[in-house]
């Protein structure tokens, strides 16, 4: 399991403060974002990443580089504030 998935699992399990503290030390890695979206789903992953203050462009670039099949849905979620 990658580091972001571990942090997100901590967040989902209710340890939000601990997860946010751990996210400070996580370097934005596009492949980890893609893997987490496959594990937890797009909306949940984007919601958690936004709570960690990850920029929209980092999320969009991750999908542009590694998973173009879902890029339109990601843009829709981000633009319509569905997270």
- pLDDT at residue number 81: 76
- pLDDT at residue number 17: 96
What is the rounded distance in angstroms from the CA atom of residue 24 to the CA atom of residue 71?
26
- Determine the straight-line distance between the first and last CA of the chain, rounded to whole angstroms: 24
Segment-wise mean pLDDT, segments of 10 residues, the chain, 83 residues: 94 96 95 96 95 95 95 93 63
Domain count, the chain: 1
> What domain range includes position 48?
3-79
Query: What are the residues whose beta carbons fall under 8 Å from the beta carbon of 7, sequence distance 6 or more?
Result: 19, 22, 23, 26, 52
CB 7 within 8 A of CB 19: yes
- pLDDT at residue number 80: 87
- pLDDT at residue number 82: 58
């Amino acid at each position: 399991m990658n580091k972001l998935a571990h942090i997100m699992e901590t967040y989902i399990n209710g340890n939000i403060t601990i997860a946010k503290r751990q996210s400070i030390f996580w370097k934005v890695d596009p492949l980890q974002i893609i893997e987490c979206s496959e594990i937890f789903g797009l909306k949940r992953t984007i919601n958690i990443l936004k709570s960690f203050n990850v920029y929209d462009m980092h999320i969009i670039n991750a999908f542009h580089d590694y998973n173009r099949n879902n890029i339109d849905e990601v843009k829709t979620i981000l633009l319509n504030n569905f997270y």
